[in-house]
Structure 1
Amino acid sequence: MTNGVSDARTGADRLSVPQRIMLLTAVLAAVAVALFVVVVRPLPAASTAVALPWVLWAAAFALSEAFPVHVQVKRDAHTFSVSDLVMAAGLVLTTPGDLVLAQVVGVAAALVLHRRQRGLKLAFNTALFALTAGVATSLYAALCAPMTPDWFWFAALVAIVVATVVGNACIFVVMSLSEGRVDPSNLLAMCTLTVPAAVAAAAIGLLVARTAAHDPAALALLALPTILIIAAYRAYTGAREQQENLRLLHEVTSLLHAGDSQAALGDFLDSVRTAFRAEMAELVLIGPGGPEGATVSRSREGAEPVVMAPLDAPENQQRLLRLTTASGALTTRTGTGRSEPLDTYAAACGLKDAVAAALRTEDRVHGLLLVGGRVGDVTTFTSRDLALLDTFARHVATSLERGRLEENLRQVTDLKEQLRHQALHDPLTGLPNRTLFLDRVRQAVDASGRTGVWPAVLYLDLDGFKPVNDTFGHEAGDILLRTVADRLRGCLRPADTAARLGGDEFVILLNGPIDRFGVTRVVERIRAQLEVPVLLGDDVVTTVGASIGVALGEPGIPDADTLVRHADVAMYAAKRSAGTDFVVYEPGLGNTTSTRKDVVAELAQAIEDGELRTVYQPLIDLRSGRPIGAEALVRWQHPVDGLRSPDQFIGLAEESGLITRIGELVLGDACRQAARWVAECQGQDDLLVTVNLSARQVADDQIVDQVREALAASGLDPHRLVLEITETVLMQDRDAAAATLWLLKGLGVRIAIDDFGTGYSSLAYLRRFPIDMLKVAREFVDGLGRDAHDDVITRAIVELAGTLGLLTVAEGVETTQQSETVTALGCDIAQGYLFSRPIEADAVSAVMSASWLSDNVRPLPVELGRLGSTGELASA
């Protein structure tokens, strides 16, 4: 026998669904009463009836309803009990009127006391039982009339089957009213499950009846197989449900790996809701940062899905998380109070019941998975649902952890590829840099030794670049360099290579076979391209020339470096020979050292004559908009050429060893000026000065003594001095660099990595070396808002520094957009032409003492602090 009732949903016709079910219940009750009065009550007792009070039969019916089997047919849950066993036995052993009365009373008592049914549902199920009992007893009596007693069992089976089909038909009508459509497959699905079960139960009931009539003592023998059959049927339905749950678990969790994460989450929650036959499924995800960034995704019947929405008040979810983390999973039925937080949450959401489980992996809790509002009033969430939801939650947590790991690995791989590209290419022009260019020249020279086909190298130094850079700023200079790089590419064959060595110097590898005539044609194409005006913006147009030196490969060239040096020597000769298209290196032109000696001697004399001077570019605190110090930069005030920038002589100073003397002069001047700023600007505890250390300086045994003497001579507090070192310097001799930096750190100074991200960018040295500050290279800052790679790399550098407790400085800030972007990313300090060009020390002192505030910085609404002496942000 079956009983059930659908959910009530509002219809579009004049009568609502509950009203229609109420009307149907009234009709069923009227038919049942009429059938009982007119047909059933007058029927005589069966010839095999025994004298048992109807109250005992009512107790048997009530007991049969205490062990039901719940089956879900789409949206409606139905209960199948063993009451057909009692009904079949009663047809044989008692009077029809007593049997119908006993079933109605017994079943109604079980529904009220055991299943706590009330209202319309109780009325419908009671009327349904009364009707099916009347149909079974009437049909049994009608079929037995022409039969002999030996065939009464057949009449009983037919009566039970017909009564079962009638009950299914009534439930089918309720389902159709509830869903608003008629689907005959629902009726077929119910009959497929219930008719065989009814026949089996009725057969056992008839065996019980015949045994009771002929050999009552043998009833004890039927007890065990009857119990086993009932238990086997319950086990079958449980195993069937478990198999279905495993299938759903695989299908649902696989949705998390769909391509579109937003759509995947929505489909996942829809499937969870379907799997648990619930009105609502909700997923709360908590990031590594804690509940502040928690999100909620929700699928609810009849409502628009919610995906990754911020949690307005995560307190309830936090309480649920604490409970589920401790107990594994929670379940509640509204009003019971067994799990107060979940009960309160379910009631607030309008759910009659709910179940929740934490998303846990070994390292942390990722969130919460909750389903609520079990569809169908017959069933609620059980211990099996708890176990299934907990399994779902663990699979989801594992999938999320794996997905996050895969995403992190992908990001790490992409970042490594970006860093590898940055290590081999010029960030500004995209051309190969010195490292990659020399590697290709070596390959060409090595191949030439086997094939006899020699390459040529062209060395270009732009004429007229410095005035453009000084007059119109670095942004205009960058436009010019990028334009020249693009035009050089267009002048070459696919097998050739153009590279930028730094500043305004470019080199070209022409793969062989190539001769003087072929070089002349390439030079002519290059000069034709350079003569085309370059638009720098705001109607500013310029042209540049180039001094070009050429080195032709030939037998006897020892290595690639020699070939490039020969081209360099030829370039210097071309620069001294005005009006020459290009100069080809020849032994008579002078060896490498003779050309260099003149320039080195000129630079050495400039140091002695005091032509090198130090200028300073202010450092701006992005939290307050005020200057907190400056970076010391060296310039060469040449008596003929005017002011020379560092890229025109620092490389030569490094090669010749003069950089040590230059660095000592800059360090001493920077310490003296910083000490003067401190004296003139009382109360600025965060004022500092930064000085670059070259590779030769770091390798020099005297560097620690030089820094100590500069601090002592100036009286500058050590913590105000920041020494900047490039990544390349650190990687040349790690052990020696580490030893030197730790000795410098012992003086109390701070260490910064200059142009972070453009070199090796090994995270190992951040742990090995005493680093206090990372300087984001101007190449990345320049691309903010225009290059997605630069955005990702800059954000990664700032977040990495924040995680390690390091300060970040954004170099080369030239636009308001760049300033706002680096501020939003969390950079601490910025410098660039937007705030100030490099200025004299006296101008810096005036800026500091005037408490100057930059109009190009949007200070944060809450004073977060300022730069303290320990390299952290100290409160103001």
Structure 2
Amino acid sequence: MRRRNSAVTRTSGHWLRVGPTIAGAELGCEGGPAVPLAQSGRWRLRILTAAVGVAGTLLWLGPLLHGGRVTSVVSLPWWALFAACYVASLLYVQVRADRESSQLSLAEIPVVIGLFVIDPPLLLAAYAGSLLFAHWTRRRARLAQDCADAALAVLYIAVAVLVFAAIGPDDGAPLALRSVIAAACAMVAAGWLLAPLALAVASLQHERPLRRGELIRTLLLRTSVTATNTSLGIVTLLAARSRPLLVFAVVPPMIMVLFAAESRRRAARMEFLYHTADIIHSSADFSEFARSLFGTLGRMFSLPNGELIALPEPRAPGLHIRHDTRGGVAMSLSRLTFAEEETLDTLRPADVAHATSGLAGSPLGALLAERNAAHGFAVALPGGDRSHGLLLLYGPAGCRTRLTRRESELLLAVARQLAAALQHGRLADAVSAAKAQRAEPSRDDFYDTVTQIPNRALFVQRVGNALGKLPSTRRPVAAVCIDLDGFAKLSTAHGLEAGDRILNVVATRLRSQVRKVDMAARLGSDQFAILLDGMRHPNDAQVVARRVIESLRQPIPLGDEQVSISGSVGVAVAANPADASSAEELLRQADMALYLARRQGSDRYVIFDRGAREPLVAAPDNPAVAAAIIA
């Protein structure tokens, strides 16, 4: 059973209820976005999957090794049962009563039929193969989830066949009462065994506790669903045996189920648009607006992270609102990075762009790399002759990599609503209020809360001050932007606390590479920067870039193990006032160099060269063109 504010889990073709997320066919498609597994959760899932697989394999190699077809009712080839299992895996019946909603799987019906008409190994192959194929047609392959589903399928069919054979159906009258009782007992026993295991797998996939109440309700629902499916399977067998043409009578109900499912999806889309419009046009508190909006988007599109970049005025700093997997909302007021500007310039108003992190030649790929995301989607906020911002949805490896045409239309509709609200309405007022609030200075506005080093705002201010002194000192100023390569994978594998530990170690190492008059700052996510104020020679910036790359190569201790990380570095040097008229221009040059460094590969730096057609790309193993060591 599924309530409106809870979720249903589908594992090995059975719908079960588990916590606030969905596992199985589409991770995180309802109730909340999928959360990547920590290292300990991965190992527990692997151990449970291995244990289930070993148990099922032992049954097939033991009691079921020489078992043949128990009885024969009609002749049915294996491919026909495979097709039936595949279709049943895609279909389910939804029953609504007031605010209660239940989803009844049909995947057990072909299993009941297969007990009577096909050899057990072929039944296992048809069921497990069709289940995985049904998953792959809805989403791409996911190794951990597919292995768990396959292991559960092996054990499920083994228990069903074993109980069915142990009770002993009547070979002389295959569909007599004893045979029907044997089939019912087999399906109930297999379902009762599968239910807690499926719940445990789903709980480990999403790091959710396994509650006793959920297990009891799941077992009760499992019994009622199994009884219904067993009855339907027996009726189908009776019809196929006495009047085979009656089998075609199931076609109209299946068509009705398909139309009902499409109607339900259409209603869900309309409800989503209504709820989204209500959030956008009625939310007064900006933080609550961001949490509600990105929570709704995450449930619909199965992506845990989101970001809204609002540009209420052209050529003005944008308001960045980010939502993370922990439900936190972070706001910052800053100019667009080079990757953000390039992404916004390449997006057309009616397009939804998708990219993979670090994809060569893709501005969106570079933008996702800045946010430690593996995959993501972007859509512009259209409005008149310019875009009013950018809406991003992204997530780690394992999240979905494509949207259906209907989902793309939904995302574009949300973008149009946001664009209209940014021009006039409560959202425009909320953005103005948020910008005014960010204008009030505090320590958190100038220092990063994780590493306790200066943030982008203070860094930009210091760069502007350094450029202001350049006409009198005539000593070059440089901005060095650093992006950590592979930080997203390390943070996902070892957890958020380990990610914060890595960021603090990197901040300490960067500060050790500069003088007291210089500054090391964290610009956001895994991006850092260094200000070199008053260098003796422009080539000193290359020396610092070389030192930064070498310092990042050093292993970082995390508990009992050590991890390695590398960095991409972009450098821009202003030797005279004409090289950079403002801090934003110098940072944009360094950001362009960093963008090219990421395209060339990790563990290298790029120097922005105004006199050359292409910036100077320096691989880590090439000697840097160095002058004197910075004092």
TM-score (norm. length: structure 2): 0.52
Amino acid at match of 1:218: L
- 1:367 maps to 2:389: yes
- 1:172 maps to 2:199: yes
1:402 aligns to what? 424
Shift of 1:279: 1.7
Matches within 5 A, 1:370-381: 370-373=392-395, 381=403
Shift of 1:316: 3.1
Matches within 5 A, 1:734-813: none
Distance 1:69 1:324 in 2: 39
Amino acid at match of 1:278: L
Distance 1:314 1:30 in 2: 52
SS in 2 for 1:287: coil
Question: Structure 2: which 5+ runs fail to align?
Answer: 1-12, 16-22, 28-33, 95-102, 434-579, 583-631
Instruction: Give the direction of change, closer, same or farther, for the CA distance of 1:114–1:392 in structure 2 (3 Å limit).
Output: closer
Question: Which residue among 308, 321, 325 is the counterpart of 1:297?
Answer: 321
Question: Which residue among 255, 259, 263 is the counterpart of 1:227?
Answer: 255
Instruction: Give the direction of change, closer, same or farther, for the CA distance of 1:254–1:41 in structure 2 (3 Å limit).
Output: farther
1:212 aligns to what? 240
Question: Which residue among 269, 288, 302 is the counterpart of 2:313?
Answer: 288
Q: Deviations over 1:506-545 (max 9, x none)?
A: xxxxxxxxxxxxxxxxxxxxxxxxxxxxxxxxxxxxxxxx
2:379 aligns to what? 357
Distance 2:221 2:373 in 1: 30
Distance 1:271 1:115 in 2: 21
1:156 aligns to what? 183
Question: Which residue among 259, 272, 281 is the counterpart of 1:245?
Answer: 272
Structure with bigger RCO (C-alpha 8 Å, 6+ apart): 2
- 1:90 maps to 2:102: no
Distance 2:350 2:125 in 1: 50
Matches within 5 A, 1:671-710: none
Amino acid at match of 2:411: L
Instruction: Give the direction of change, closer, same or farther, for the CA distance of 1:16–1:249 in structure 2 (3 Å limit).
Output: same
Amino acid at match of 2:311: I
2:157 aligns to what? 133
TM-score (norm. length: structure 1): 0.39
Instruction: Give the direction of change, closer, same or farther, for the CA distance of 1:308–1:107 in structure 2 (3 Å limit).
Output: same
Rg (Cα) greater in structure: 1
Distance 2:335 2:185 in 1: 59
Q: Deviations over 1:296-324 (max 9, x none)?
A: 21111248632133144154355346424
Amino acid at match of 2:418: V
- 1:385 maps to 2:414: no
SS in 2 for 1:257: coil
Shift of 1:102: 3.1
Distance 1:321 1:183 in 2: 49
Shift of 1:172: 1.5
Contact 2:357 2:365 in 1 (8 A): yes
Instruction: Give the direction of change, closer, same or farther, for the CA distance of 1:382–1:102 in structure 2 (3 Å limit).
Output: same
SS in 1 for 2:390: strand
Contact 1:140 1:156 in 2 (8 A): yes
Instruction: Give the direction of change, closer, same or farther, for the CA distance of 1:219–1:186 in structure 2 (3 Å limit).
Output: same
Q: Percent identity between the aligned chains?
A: 21
2:485 aligns to what? none
SS in 2 for 1:228: helix
Shift of 1:163: 3.4
Contact 1:352 1:373 in 2 (8 A): yes
Distance 1:104 1:64 in 2: 13
Amino acid at match of 1:121: Q
Contact 2:73 2:117 in 1 (8 A): yes
Contact 1:41 1:96 in 2 (8 A): no
SS in 1 for 2:423: helix
- 1:124 maps to 2:148: yes
Contact 2:280 2:427 in 1 (8 A): no
Q: Deviations over 1:12-47 (max 9, x none)?
A: xxx711111111011110111122233444545343
Matches within 5 A, 1:605-616: none
Amino acid at match of 1:357: V
Amino acid at match of 1:213: R
Question: Which residue among 17, 20, 25 is the counterpart of 2:49?
Answer: 25
Shift of 1:68: 8.3
Contact 2:156 2:191 in 1 (8 A): yes
SS in 2 for 1:325: coil
Distance 1:379 1:189 in 2: 34
SS in 1 for 2:141: coil
Q: CA RMSD in A?
A: 4.5
Q: Deviations over 1:46-85 (max 9, x none)?
A: 4334344445534544565567899xxxxxxxx9975323
- 1:306 maps to 2:306: no
Amino acid at match of 1:385: E
Contact 2:36 2:396 in 1 (8 A): no
Q: Deviations over 1:97-141 (max 9, x none)?
A: 431243234445555687542532222111111111122223333
Instruction: Give the direction of change, closer, same or farther, for the CA distance of 1:267–1:378 in structure 2 (3 Å limit).
Output: closer
Distance 1:106 1:225 in 2: 21
Instruction: Give the direction of change, closer, same or farther, for the CA distance of 1:311–1:235 in structure 2 (3 Å limit).
Output: same
Shift of 1:249: 1.8
Distance 2:303 2:68 in 1: 49
Distance 2:309 2:356 in 1: 21
- 1:2 maps to 2:17: no
Instruction: Give the direction of change, closer, same or farther, for the CA distance of 1:167–1:100 in structure 2 (3 Å limit).
Output: same
Instruction: Give the direction of change, closer, same or farther, for the CA distance of 1:343–1:382 in structure 2 (3 Å limit).
Output: farther
Contact 1:374 1:381 in 2 (8 A): no
SS in 1 for 2:45: helix
Question: Structure 1: which 5+ runs fail to align?
Answer: 71-78, 412-860, 864-876
Contact 2:302 2:399 in 1 (8 A): no
Q: Deviations over 1:783-821 (max 9, x none)?
A: xxxxxxxxxxxxxxxxxxxxxxxxxxxxxxxxxxxxxxx
Contact 1:321 1:358 in 2 (8 A): no
1:100 aligns to what? 124
Contact 1:330 1:386 in 2 (8 A): no
1:660 aligns to what? none
Distance 1:376 1:240 in 2: 28
Q: Deviations over 1:257-309 (max 9, x none)?
A: 23xx456445544554455442211001113223x422321111248632133
Amino acid at match of 1:149: L
Instruction: Give the direction of change, closer, same or farther, for the CA distance of 1:351–1:324 in structure 2 (3 Å limit).
Output: farther
1:48 aligns to what? 72
Distance 2:256 2:306 in 1: 38
Contact 1:265 1:307 in 2 (8 A): no
Shift of 1:371: 1.4
Shift of 1:173: 0.8
Shift of 1:400: 2.5
